[in-house]
Amino acid sequence: MPTYEYQCRKCKRRHEASQSITAKSLTKCPRCGGKLKRLISSGSGFLFKGSGFYITDYRSKGYQDAKKRDEQVKPSPTPSNTPSKPSSSADKP
C-alpha cells in the first residue's frame, strides 16, 4: 500500500498515511482539524543488492525440488581443456 504525505494548511504539521491507490485523499488534520493538502513525495525507493535477480529465484517449490534431484543424479562434467600429464621418456618402452 502506498504512503502519502499530507500537510495541514492551518498548523503546517506534516504527516504520512498509508492508503490504497483508490482511497480518497484525507481532508481533515488529525491535530487541529484544519484542511489538509496532499503533497507530492518521492516515495520509497528500493535497492538492488547481491549478484542479481533471476527468473529462477522465485520458481515454485516443485520446480526447485526437481532441479535439486537433477543436479544430484547428473555426474559433474569433467573439464575438457585440462592438460594431460606430460609423458616422460622413462614411461616409453
pLDDT score, position 41: 72
pLDDT of residue 7: 95
pLDDT digits 0-9 by tens, 44-91: 666 667 776 666 666 788 888 888 888 887 665 666 655 555 555 555
| pLDDT of residue 25 exceeding 80 | yes
Grid cell for residue 43: 516515495
**Residue 52 exposed, middle or buried by CB count within 10 Å (0-12, 13-18, 19+):** exposed
Phi, then psi, of 64 in degrees rounded to 5: -65, -40
Which of 31-35, 39-43, 60-64 has maximum average pLDDT? 31-35
